[in-house]
Amino acid sequence: MAKKIRWTEFPHSDPKFDYDGTKLAKAWKKLHAGDLEPFPDEARVAALLKKNPKLGKAAQAGEIAEALAEAWRAFHRGDFQDAYEAGSALGPLGASVAIKAAGIHATHLLDDDKAREKRYAELVTLAEAAIAALPDEANSHYRHAFALGRYSQSISIAKALTQGLAGKVRDSLQRTLELAPDHAEAHTALGLYHAEVVSKVGGLIAGLTYGAKPAIGESLLKRAIELTPDSPIAHIEYGNGLMLLFGSKKEDQAAGEYEKAARCKPLDAMEKLDAEYAASQIED
Protein backbone atom coordinates (compact mmCIF):
# COMPACT_ATOMS: atom_id res chain seq x y z
CA MET A 1 0.00 0.00 0.00
CA ALA A 2 1.35 3.45 -0.95
CA LYS A 3 2.36 5.68 1.91
CA LYS A 4 -0.29 8.29 2.61
CA ILE A 5 0.94 11.87 2.43
CA ARG A 6 0.56 13.63 5.75
CA TRP A 7 -1.10 17.05 5.91
CA THR A 8 0.87 19.31 8.26
CA GLU A 9 -1.40 21.91 9.84
CA PHE A 10 -1.00 25.59 9.04
CA PRO A 11 0.90 26.92 12.08
CA HIS A 12 -0.34 30.51 12.11
CA SER A 13 -4.08 30.44 12.69
CA ASP A 14 -5.39 34.00 12.57
CA PRO A 15 -9.00 35.26 12.82
CA LYS A 16 -8.19 37.79 10.08
CA PHE A 17 -7.88 34.92 7.61
CA ASP A 18 -11.40 33.64 8.31
CA TYR A 19 -13.63 35.01 5.56
CA ASP A 20 -16.95 33.66 6.70
CA GLY A 21 -20.31 34.78 5.34
CA THR A 22 -20.23 37.86 3.14
CA LYS A 23 -16.62 38.66 4.09
CA LEU A 24 -15.35 36.41 1.31
CA ALA A 25 -17.13 38.28 -1.48
CA LYS A 26 -16.08 41.66 -0.07
CA ALA A 27 -12.40 40.68 0.14
CA TRP A 28 -12.33 38.55 -3.03
CA LYS A 29 -10.80 41.10 -5.39
CA LYS A 30 -7.83 41.70 -3.08
CA LEU A 31 -7.45 38.03 -2.18
CA HIS A 32 -7.33 37.04 -5.83
CA ALA A 33 -5.51 40.00 -7.34
CA GLY A 34 -2.71 37.63 -8.30
CA ASP A 35 -4.65 34.81 -9.97
CA LEU A 36 -7.82 36.63 -11.07
CA GLU A 37 -9.96 33.69 -9.97
CA PRO A 38 -13.63 34.64 -10.62
CA PHE A 39 -15.85 34.71 -7.53
CA PRO A 40 -17.76 31.40 -7.34
CA ASP A 41 -21.32 32.66 -7.13
CA GLU A 42 -24.33 30.87 -8.59
CA ALA A 43 -24.25 32.81 -11.85
CA ARG A 44 -20.61 31.93 -12.40
CA VAL A 45 -21.18 28.22 -11.76
CA ALA A 46 -24.31 28.19 -13.93
CA ALA A 47 -22.29 29.67 -16.82
CA LEU A 48 -19.65 26.95 -16.44
CA LEU A 49 -22.28 24.23 -16.34
CA LYS A 50 -23.84 25.64 -19.49
CA LYS A 51 -20.44 25.36 -21.23
CA ASN A 52 -20.01 21.78 -20.06
CA PRO A 53 -23.25 20.08 -18.92
CA LYS A 54 -21.28 16.93 -18.04
CA LEU A 55 -20.00 18.74 -14.93
CA GLY A 56 -23.41 18.88 -13.29
CA LYS A 57 -27.05 19.86 -13.59
CA ALA A 58 -28.08 23.50 -13.89
CA ALA A 59 -30.31 23.07 -10.85
CA GLN A 60 -27.20 22.30 -8.79
CA ALA A 61 -25.50 25.61 -9.53
CA GLY A 62 -26.35 27.21 -6.20
CA GLU A 63 -25.27 24.18 -4.20
CA ILE A 64 -22.00 23.86 -6.11
CA ALA A 65 -21.31 27.58 -5.75
CA GLU A 66 -21.63 27.40 -1.97
CA ALA A 67 -19.40 24.31 -1.84
CA LEU A 68 -16.79 26.15 -3.88
CA ALA A 69 -16.99 29.20 -1.65
CA GLU A 70 -16.50 27.00 1.42
CA ALA A 71 -13.46 25.38 -0.20
CA TRP A 72 -11.95 28.79 -0.84
CA ARG A 73 -12.70 29.90 2.73
CA ALA A 74 -10.82 26.83 3.94
CA PHE A 75 -7.89 27.69 1.68
CA HIS A 76 -7.65 31.29 2.82
CA ARG A 77 -7.70 30.41 6.53
CA GLY A 78 -5.07 27.69 6.05
CA ASP A 79 -7.17 24.53 6.21
CA PHE A 80 -5.43 23.24 3.10
CA GLN A 81 -6.51 19.63 3.41
CA ASP A 82 -10.17 20.62 3.70
CA ALA A 83 -9.82 22.95 0.72
CA TYR A 84 -8.14 20.26 -1.38
CA GLU A 85 -10.66 17.56 -0.53
CA ALA A 86 -13.66 19.84 -1.05
CA GLY A 87 -12.30 21.09 -4.36
CA SER A 88 -11.37 17.62 -5.59
CA ALA A 89 -14.87 16.36 -4.80
CA LEU A 90 -16.24 18.89 -7.30
CA GLY A 91 -14.07 17.62 -10.16
CA PRO A 92 -12.88 20.17 -12.74
CA LEU A 93 -15.11 22.85 -11.18
CA GLY A 94 -13.08 22.61 -7.98
CA ALA A 95 -9.69 21.92 -9.53
CA SER A 96 -8.47 25.49 -9.15
CA VAL A 97 -8.87 25.60 -5.38
CA ALA A 98 -7.78 21.98 -4.95
CA ILE A 99 -4.54 22.48 -6.86
CA LYS A 100 -3.76 25.78 -5.20
CA ALA A 101 -4.40 24.40 -1.71
CA ALA A 102 -2.36 21.22 -2.14
CA GLY A 103 0.36 23.03 -4.07
CA ILE A 104 0.86 25.76 -1.49
CA HIS A 105 0.78 23.17 1.29
CA ALA A 106 3.41 21.07 -0.48
CA THR A 107 5.62 24.08 -1.13
CA HIS A 108 5.65 25.37 2.44
CA LEU A 109 4.55 22.61 4.80
CA LEU A 110 5.42 19.25 3.27
CA ASP A 111 8.91 18.35 4.49
CA ASP A 112 9.52 15.29 2.32
CA ASP A 113 11.00 15.59 -1.16
CA LYS A 114 9.53 12.34 -2.49
CA ALA A 115 6.09 13.10 -1.09
CA ARG A 116 6.25 16.59 -2.56
CA GLU A 117 7.15 15.24 -5.99
CA LYS A 118 4.30 12.73 -5.80
CA ARG A 119 1.80 15.42 -4.83
CA TYR A 120 2.79 17.72 -7.66
CA ALA A 121 2.45 14.82 -10.10
CA GLU A 122 -1.07 14.15 -8.83
CA LEU A 123 -1.95 17.82 -9.23
CA VAL A 124 -0.74 17.79 -12.83
CA THR A 125 -3.27 15.04 -13.55
CA LEU A 126 -6.03 17.05 -11.88
CA ALA A 127 -5.06 20.12 -13.91
CA GLU A 128 -5.10 18.18 -17.19
CA ALA A 129 -8.68 17.11 -16.47
CA ALA A 130 -9.62 20.73 -15.79
CA ILE A 131 -8.13 21.86 -19.11
CA ALA A 132 -10.06 19.15 -20.94
CA ALA A 133 -13.33 20.12 -19.26
CA LEU A 134 -12.90 23.91 -19.07
CA PRO A 135 -10.38 24.96 -21.76
CA ASP A 136 -11.53 28.59 -21.83
CA GLU A 137 -10.77 29.18 -18.15
CA ALA A 138 -7.45 30.96 -17.60
CA ASN A 139 -6.81 29.16 -14.33
CA SER A 140 -7.29 25.74 -15.87
CA HIS A 141 -4.08 26.49 -17.74
CA TYR A 142 -2.37 28.40 -14.94
CA ARG A 143 -2.90 25.63 -12.36
CA HIS A 144 -1.46 23.18 -14.90
CA ALA A 145 1.61 25.36 -15.32
CA PHE A 146 1.91 25.78 -11.55
CA ALA A 147 1.68 22.06 -10.81
CA LEU A 148 3.92 21.03 -13.70
CA GLY A 149 6.41 23.78 -12.85
CA ARG A 150 6.66 22.66 -9.23
CA TYR A 151 6.99 19.06 -10.35
CA SER A 152 9.74 20.07 -12.76
CA GLN A 153 11.63 21.82 -9.96
CA SER A 154 11.26 18.76 -7.74
CA ILE A 155 12.98 16.52 -10.33
CA SER A 156 15.53 19.21 -11.33
CA ILE A 157 15.25 21.79 -14.09
CA ALA A 158 17.81 19.94 -16.20
CA LYS A 159 15.76 16.74 -16.17
CA ALA A 160 12.59 18.69 -16.86
CA LEU A 161 14.19 20.30 -19.91
CA THR A 162 15.27 16.90 -21.20
CA GLN A 163 11.72 15.58 -20.83
CA GLY A 164 10.22 18.60 -22.57
CA LEU A 165 8.28 19.67 -19.47
CA ALA A 166 9.55 23.24 -19.55
CA GLY A 167 7.95 23.80 -22.94
CA LYS A 168 4.63 22.54 -21.61
CA VAL A 169 4.86 24.94 -18.67
CA ARG A 170 5.63 27.80 -21.04
CA ASP A 171 2.72 26.92 -23.34
CA SER A 172 0.24 26.76 -20.44
CA LEU A 173 1.43 30.11 -19.09
CA GLN A 174 1.21 31.74 -22.50
CA ARG A 175 -2.34 30.42 -22.89
CA THR A 176 -3.17 31.78 -19.43
CA LEU A 177 -2.02 35.24 -20.45
CA GLU A 178 -3.93 35.05 -23.74
CA LEU A 179 -7.11 34.48 -21.71
CA ALA A 180 -6.20 36.83 -18.82
CA PRO A 181 -3.53 39.39 -19.83
CA ASP A 182 -3.31 40.85 -16.30
CA HIS A 183 -2.80 37.51 -14.54
CA ALA A 184 0.05 38.54 -12.21
CA GLU A 185 0.96 35.04 -11.04
CA ALA A 186 1.28 33.89 -14.64
CA HIS A 187 3.58 36.84 -15.37
CA THR A 188 5.71 35.80 -12.41
CA ALA A 189 5.80 32.15 -13.43
CA LEU A 190 6.61 32.89 -17.07
CA GLY A 191 9.32 35.32 -15.98
CA LEU A 192 10.84 32.56 -13.87
CA TYR A 193 10.63 30.17 -16.81
CA HIS A 194 12.88 32.50 -18.79
CA ALA A 195 15.21 33.01 -15.82
CA GLU A 196 15.56 29.33 -14.97
CA VAL A 197 16.20 28.24 -18.55
CA VAL A 198 18.77 31.00 -19.13
CA SER A 199 20.48 30.10 -15.85
CA LYS A 200 20.58 26.41 -16.70
CA VAL A 201 21.66 26.35 -20.35
CA GLY A 202 23.07 29.83 -20.97
CA GLY A 203 21.69 32.80 -22.87
CA LEU A 204 22.49 31.67 -26.42
CA ILE A 205 21.01 28.16 -26.23
CA ALA A 206 18.12 29.43 -24.08
CA GLY A 207 17.12 31.91 -26.75
CA LEU A 208 17.62 29.69 -29.79
CA THR A 209 16.17 26.46 -28.36
CA TYR A 210 13.60 27.57 -25.80
CA GLY A 211 12.84 31.17 -26.70
CA ALA A 212 13.97 32.22 -23.22
CA LYS A 213 15.60 35.64 -22.89
CA PRO A 214 16.87 37.55 -19.82
CA ALA A 215 15.19 40.82 -20.79
CA ILE A 216 11.80 39.18 -21.29
CA GLY A 217 12.12 37.31 -18.01
CA GLU A 218 12.91 40.43 -16.00
CA SER A 219 10.15 42.39 -17.75
CA LEU A 220 7.53 39.75 -16.88
CA LEU A 221 8.64 39.65 -13.24
CA LYS A 222 8.46 43.44 -13.01
CA ARG A 223 5.00 43.44 -14.55
CA ALA A 224 3.77 41.07 -11.85
CA ILE A 225 4.87 43.57 -9.18
CA GLU A 226 3.16 46.41 -11.04
CA LEU A 227 -0.06 44.38 -11.01
CA THR A 228 0.26 43.17 -7.39
CA PRO A 229 2.64 45.44 -5.45
CA ASP A 230 1.46 44.06 -2.10
CA SER A 231 1.96 40.39 -2.97
CA PRO A 232 4.83 38.68 -1.11
CA ILE A 233 5.32 36.03 -3.78
CA ALA A 234 5.70 38.59 -6.57
CA HIS A 235 8.64 40.16 -4.72
CA ILE A 236 10.15 36.81 -3.70
CA GLU A 237 10.14 35.46 -7.22
CA TYR A 238 11.46 38.72 -8.65
CA GLY A 239 14.36 38.38 -6.25
CA ASN A 240 14.86 34.75 -7.29
CA GLY A 241 14.71 35.72 -10.94
CA LEU A 242 17.34 38.43 -10.50
CA MET A 243 19.72 35.95 -8.89
CA LEU A 244 19.16 33.40 -11.65
CA LEU A 245 19.70 35.96 -14.40
CA PHE A 246 22.43 38.14 -12.96
CA GLY A 247 23.88 36.40 -9.90
CA SER A 248 25.93 38.51 -7.51
CA LYS A 249 25.63 41.56 -9.78
CA LYS A 250 22.09 42.08 -8.50
CA GLU A 251 22.36 40.38 -5.11
CA ASP A 252 21.54 43.57 -3.21
CA GLN A 253 18.45 44.24 -5.33
CA ALA A 254 17.31 40.66 -4.88
CA ALA A 255 17.75 40.97 -1.10
CA GLY A 256 15.70 44.16 -1.24
CA GLU A 257 12.84 42.28 -2.91
CA TYR A 258 12.90 39.70 -0.13
CA GLU A 259 12.76 42.49 2.44
CA LYS A 260 9.74 43.96 0.67
CA ALA A 261 8.07 40.53 0.69
CA ALA A 262 8.69 40.12 4.41
CA ARG A 263 7.11 43.51 5.10
CA CYS A 264 3.91 42.76 3.16
CA LYS A 265 0.82 42.44 5.34
CA PRO A 266 -0.64 39.00 4.56
CA LEU A 267 -4.32 38.76 3.67
CA ASP A 268 -4.53 35.00 4.07
CA ALA A 269 -2.64 31.85 5.02
CA MET A 270 -0.77 31.60 1.73
CA GLU A 271 0.57 35.14 1.96
CA LYS A 272 1.51 34.55 5.59
CA LEU A 273 3.60 31.54 4.58
CA ASP A 274 5.20 33.47 1.72
CA ALA A 275 6.07 36.45 3.92
CA GLU A 276 7.39 34.18 6.65
CA TYR A 277 9.60 32.38 4.13
CA ALA A 278 10.99 35.69 2.89
CA ALA A 279 11.77 36.76 6.45
CA SER A 280 13.54 33.47 7.17
CA GLN A 281 15.78 33.92 4.13
CA ILE A 282 16.77 37.42 5.24
CA GLU A 283 17.72 36.09 8.67
CA ASP A 284 19.89 33.40 7.06
Q: What is the pLDDT of residues 206-244, one digit of tens each?
A: 555 666 687 889 999 999 999 999 999 999 999 999 999
Is 93 inside a domain boundary?
yes
Q: Which whole number is the average pLDDT over 144-153?
A: 94
Cβ pair 195, 213 in contact under 8 A: no
Q: What is the pLDDT of residues 51-94, one digit of tens each?
A: 999 999 999 999 999 999 999 999 999 999 999 999 999 999 99
What pLDDT is attached to residue 167?
A: 87
Distance of CA 166 to the CA centre of its chain: 16
Cβ pair 176, 137 in contact under 8 A: no
Is 210 inside a domain boundary?
no
Give the residue numbers spanning the domain of 45: 23-154
What pLDDT is attached to residue 210?
A: 64
Stretch among 35-39, 103-107, 153-157, 216-220 having the lowest mean pLDDT: 153-157
Q: Which residue has the higher pLDDT, 273 or 284?
A: 273
- 43 φ/ψ sector (left φ>0, alpha ψ -120 to 50, else beta): alpha
Q: Which whole number is the average pLDDT over 197-205?
A: 70
Q: What's the pTM?
A: 0.93
Q: How many domains does the chain fold into?
A: 1
Is 173 inside a domain boundary?
no
What pLDDT is attached to residue 2?
A: 42
Cβ pair 144, 123 in contact under 8 A: no
Stretch among 37-51, 147-161, 178-192, 264-278 having the lowest mean pLDDT: 147-161
Is 40 inside a domain boundary?
yes
Q: Which whole number is the average pLDDT over 155-178?
A: 88
Is 255 inside a domain boundary?
no
